[in-house]
Amino acid sequence: MATETPHTNPAVDGSELIRFDRVTKRFGENTVLDDLDFSVSSGKHVTLIGPSGSGKTTILRLLMTLIKPDQGTIKVDGDYLTHEDRGGKLVEAGEKHTREVRKKIGMVFQQFNLFPNMRVLRNITEAPVHVLGLSKDEAEERARELLDLVGLGDKCDAYPTQLSGGQQQRVAIARALAMRPQVMLLDEVTSALDPELVAGVLDVLRDIAHTTDITMLCVTHEMSFARDISDEVFMFDSGRVIEAGPPEKIFSEPEHERTREFLSAVL
C-alpha cells in the first residue's frame, strides 16, 4: 500500500457527481433506456444489478461517451457531458468540452483492454503523459505507487501476456486510477476471469473502496462484493430503476417481485 493517499477529490460532500435527466437511448426499434432519471452522489459506491440486457452497460457507455443519448441530458460534477450551455441555450457539445468533462471518469472493462505492445508501467503512464501532460518521471512515480496499491509492484517490466487475467485486470484498475478520475466505472470486471482469480481482484477493489474517496459505479454479479462495498444498490429492469436502496434492504427485503426473482437466480 502506498503511503500517500492516491485520491483526494476536491468535492466529497455528497453533491451529485453523476446525474441522468430523462435519458432515452434507443438502438433501432429497441428502447434500451426509457426516460431514465438516475444520480450518484460524490464519494458514494453505487452498484447496478439486474438481468442481462436491462441496460446497465449502456449507462456506462453513455458516461464514457462511446454512445450518445437520443433524449435527455447527463451531467458530471455539474457540467453537461454531451451538451453545452451557450447563453442559456442547450446545444450539442464540441469534442473539446466533452473530452474535458470525461477526464473526470475512469473505466475498467470486462476484457482488460491493456495495450499488448507496452510493458505494464507504460500501460499506466501513457495517458497521464499524453492526456494530462505529466512528465515521464511524475507519471512513473504515480504508476509505481498504484502498482503497489494493486499488489503488482514487481511487474513494472512485464508485458500483459506474461500476466494472469487477474493480474491484467489489476493493471487495468491501476491504469484507470492513474488519471485521478473522480468516478470509476466498473463493468463486470471479474466476469472474464477464471474463478480462482476473482477474489484477488475483488480484494483490490474493496481496498480502494474502503481507503479512498473515489466515487464508484459498478455493474457486478458478485453479490457479496456488492453487499460489502455499496452505499446504494439500483435494481434495473428493462431500462428503468425498479428499486433502489442500501444493500441490506435490497438483498434482504426486496419489495419487487422482479428483484426477488433476479436475486434468487443469481444468489
Ligand X SMILES: Nc1ncnc2c1ncn2[C@@H]1O[C@H](COP(=O)(O)OP(=O)(O)O)[C@@H](O)[C@H]1O
Site residues, ligand X (CB under 6 A) = 27, 30, 32, 52-58
Q: Considering the complex, what minimum distance in angstroms separates the CB of residue 150 from ligand X?
A: 25
The dihedrals phi and psi of 171, each to the nearest 5 degrees, come to: -65, -40
> DSSP letter at 44?
-
Q: Which is nearer to Mg ion, 80 or 112 (CB)?
A: 112
Q: Considering the complex, what minimum distance in angstroms separates the CB of residue 60 from ligand X?
A: 8
Q: Distance (Å, rounded) from C-alpha 136 to C-alpha 264?
A: 50
Measured from each CB, the residue nearest to Mg ion is: 57
Site string for Mg ion, 51-70 (x = CB under 5 A): -----xx-------------
Q: Considering the complex, what minimum distance in angstroms separates the CB of residue 110 from Mg ion?
A: 8
Q: Which is nearer to Mg ion, 56 or 83 (CB)?
A: 56
Q: Which is nearer to ligand X, 47 or 57 (CB)?
A: 57
Q: Which three cell numbers stand for residue 265?
A: 437466480
Tell which residue, 4, 20, 128, has the closest CA to residue 74: 20
Q: Which ranges of 212-246 does DSSP label H, i.e. alpha helix? A: 223-229
Tell which residue, 18, 22, 19, has the closest CA to residue 69: 22
Q: Which is nearer to Mg ion, 57 or 212 (CB)?
A: 57
| Angular region, 47: left φ>0, alpha ψ -120 to 50, beta rest | beta
Name the pairing type of β-strands 105-108 and 183-187.
Answer: parallel
Q: Considering the complex, what minimum distance in angstroms separates the CB of residue 155 from ligand X?
A: 30
Q: Considering the complex, what minimum distance in angstroms separates the CB of residue 239 from ligand X?
A: 7
Q: Which three cell numbers stand for residue 168?
A: 491484467
Q: Which is nearer to ligand X, 163 or 250 (CB)?
A: 250
The item of ligand X, Mg ion, none sharing an interface with residue 30, based on CB under 5 to 8 Å by kind, is ligand X
Q: Considering the complex, what minimum distance in angstroms separates the CB of residue 196 from ligand X?
A: 25
Q: Which is nearer to ligand X, 112 or 236 (CB)?
A: 236
Please give the single-letter amino acid code of residue 253: E
Q: Which is nearer to ligand X, 53 or 245 (CB)?
A: 53
Size of the site for Mg ion (CB under 5 A): 2
- Return the number of other C-beta atoms located less than 10 Å from residue 242's C-beta: 18
CA 193 to centroid of chain Cα atoms: 18
Q: Is 56 helix (H, G, I), strand (E, B) or coil?
A: helix
- Whether 183 and 203 have beta carbons less than 8 Å apart is answered as no
- Whether 71 and 83 have beta carbons less than 8 Å apart is answered as no
Q: Which three cell numbers stand for residue 160?
A: 500483459
Q: Considering the complex, what minimum distance in angstroms separates the CB of residue 219 from ligand X?
A: 6
The binding site for Mg ion (CB under 5 A) comprises: 56-57
